[in-house]
């Protein structure tokens, strides 16, 4: 039986367009694997705008307790990657935590 997620944890960050192609592989290599080890699933999105690029990472969790264990008790605290300050226009101040109300992706 597969556990269905009840929680989505959303991180958003933005870069200048000229560094987005460098930041993306860095984010894939450093930010995504730790989530893949513990979350039920992970998605990474990229939106190129005129002068900046937005990256959004959504991780899915069976419950708030599992997500809180990963975040060491601070579910909305951002755990910045080592080079985030170099790439991001501003460091995100918090994570969004959403309860999943409808999930019909099966």
Residue 56 CA to its chain's centroid (Å): 6
- pLDDT of residue 54 exceeding 90: yes
Most confident region among 1-15, 22-36, 64-78 by mean pLDDT = 22-36
Mapping DSSP onto H, E and C, the string for the chain reads CCCCCCEEEEEEEEEEHHHHHHHHHHHHHHCHHHHHHHCCEEEEEEEECCCEEEEEEEEEECCHHHHHHHCCCCCCCCCCCCCHHHHECCCCCCCEEEECCCCCCC
Share of the chain above pLDDT 70, in %: 97
pLDDT in tens, 33-47: 999 999 999 999 999
Q: Please name each of the domains of the chain with its CATH number.
A: 7-99 (3.30.70.100)
The confidence band for 2, taking pLDDT boundaries of 50, 70 and 90, is: low
């Amino acid at each position: 039986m597969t556990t269905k997620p009840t929680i989505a944890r959303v991180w958003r960050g933005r870069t200048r367009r000229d560094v987005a192609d460098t930041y993306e592989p860095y984010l894939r290599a450093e930010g995504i694997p730790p989530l893949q080890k513990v979350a039920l699933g992970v998605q990474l999105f990229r939106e190129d705008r005129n002068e900046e690029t937005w990256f959004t990472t959504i991780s899915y969790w069976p419950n708030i307790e599992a997500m809180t264990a990963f975040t060491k008790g601070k579910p909305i605290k951002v755990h910045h990657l080592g080079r985030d300050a170099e790439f991001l226009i501003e460091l995100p101040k918090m994570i969004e935590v959403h309860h999943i109300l409808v999930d019909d992706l099966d």
